[in-house]
């Protein structure tokens, strides 16, 4: 349910060079209606969601006091006429483009179907699975999930970058990225499963931000972190 908020971004650079801008504007103008849809013309007897939208706005602006029932009847028609008269439109009780536009509802957002299926956009999952494969060789299953959990805990922490790629590719953050091992191994089925479990929210490390192999030389500083647990060959700490 919780999504990671996107932070940062690069400042937009606007180059106001004549022709380029014109071309860009032309492209934008041509592209705009594709993402938006025009509303249907409504009149006495119309029914449905669009009538409900009309009644909703007329009520909000104080022209309509009837129920929002989606039926274009007498009271809706009266309200439309009052609105048209007050706004210098032709008073015909028909809601066409001009009236919709005056109501501030000229275009309606047409939700776009995603261009690529979401499952194919699992770049984060792939990266996590690769990291698990490279860092979690010979580890028990929880140890594999724990590695991915540390990445996700870092994403949530203000102390580290706030995207999965930002955390994994941070210089010197992971040995397998520094020595390139992450690119030489193909994730096993278990690594994929562990990456999915971590993304589903399972965190056997209780918010840990660091892990290391205690049998290898590490700095004294890292041992100053409060240790949560050991899983397999790795110590996990806050």
Partner 1 sequence: MENGEKRFRSLSALLMIALLGVGAWALSLRAERDQLALAVGTRYQQAFQFLLDGVDNMEANLAKVAVASGPGDQIPLLTEIWRDAGMAQTSIGQLPLPVGRMMRTSTFLAQAGDYAYSLVRQIARGTVPDDEARRQLAELSQEAGKLASELHGVFERAQADGPSGWMELQRAAARGLTASVGGALGDGLGRVETHLEEVPTLTYDGPFSDHITERKPRGLSGDEVSEAEAEAIVRRFLPAADREGYRVEVTDRVQGRIPGYHVAVRREGEAGAVYTLDVARQGGAVVWMNSSRRVEENRLDREAMREKAEAFARERMEDTDLVAVDSIGSQGRTTFTLVPKVDGVLIYPDMIKVTVAADNGEILQYDAQSYLMNHTERKLEKPELEEEEARRRLPPDFEPRGEGRLALIPTEGLREVLTYEYRGTVDETEFIIFVNASSGQIEEILQVVPTSEGEVAR
* Angle at 216 (CA atoms; ends 180, 150), nearest 5 degrees: 60
Residues 91-150 that bind partner 1 (CB under 8 A): 105, 108-114, 117-119, 141-142
- The verdict on 57 binding partner 1 (CB under 8 A) reads yes
- In the set 171, 180, 186, 215, which binds partner 1 (CB under 8 A)? 171
- In the set 83, 212, 234, 235, which binds partner 1 (CB under 8 A)? 212
- The verdict on 161 binding partner 1 (CB under 8 A) reads yes
> For partner 1, how many residues bind (rule: CB under 8 A)?
71
Window of 21-29, 73-81, 88-96, 169-177 that interacts with partner 1 by CB under 8 A:
169-177
**In this structure, how many other beta carbons lie within 10 angstroms of the beta carbon of residue 148?**
28
- The verdict on 207 binding partner 1 (CB under 8 A) reads yes
Residues 1-20 that bind partner 1 (CB under 8 A): 1-3, 5, 7-11
- φ/ψ region of 163 (left if φ > 0, alpha if ψ in -120 to 50, else beta) reads beta
**φ/ψ of residue 168, rounded to 5:** -70, -40
Nearest in space to 199 (alpha carbons), one of 138, 126, 135, 134: 126
What is the maximal distance between C-alpha atoms in the chain?
84
- The verdict on 203 binding partner 1 (CB under 8 A) reads yes
- In the set 78, 96, 193, 232, which binds partner 1 (CB under 8 A)? 193
**Rg of the chain on CA atoms, in Å:** 29
- In the set 102, 190, 232, 233, which binds partner 1 (CB under 8 A)? 190
The structure tokens 């809706």 sit at 76
């Amino acid at each position: 349910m919780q999504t990671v908020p996107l932070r940062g971004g690069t400042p937009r650079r606007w180059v106001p060079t004549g022709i380029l801008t014109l071309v860009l504007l032309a492209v934008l103008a041509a592209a705009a209606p594709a993402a938006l849809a025009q509303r249907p013309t409504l009149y006495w007897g119309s029914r449905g969601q669009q009538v409900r939208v009309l009644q909703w706005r007329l009520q909000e602006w104080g022209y309509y006091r009837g129920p929002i029932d989606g039926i274009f009847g007498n009271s809706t028609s009266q309200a439309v006429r009052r609105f048209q008269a007050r706004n210098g439109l032709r008073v015909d009780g028909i809601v066409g483009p001009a009236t919709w536009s005056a109501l501030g509802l000229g275009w309606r957002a047409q939700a776009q179907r995603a261009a690529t299926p979401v499952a194919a956009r699992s770049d984060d999952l792939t990266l996590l699975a690769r990291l698990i494969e490279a860092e979690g060789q010979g580890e028990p299953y929880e140890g594999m999930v724990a590695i991915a959990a540390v990445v996700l805990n870092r994403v949530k922490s203000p102390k580290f970058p706030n995207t999965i790629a930002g955390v994994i590719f941070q210089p010197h953050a992971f040995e397998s990225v520094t020595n390139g091992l992450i690119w030489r191994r193909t994730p096993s089925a278990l690594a994929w499963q562990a990456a999915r479990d971590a993304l589903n929210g399972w965190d056997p490390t209780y918010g840990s931000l660091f892990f290391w192999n205690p049998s290898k030389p590490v700095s004294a500083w890292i041992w100053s972190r409060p240790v949560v647990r050991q899983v397999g060959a790795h110590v996990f700490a806050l």
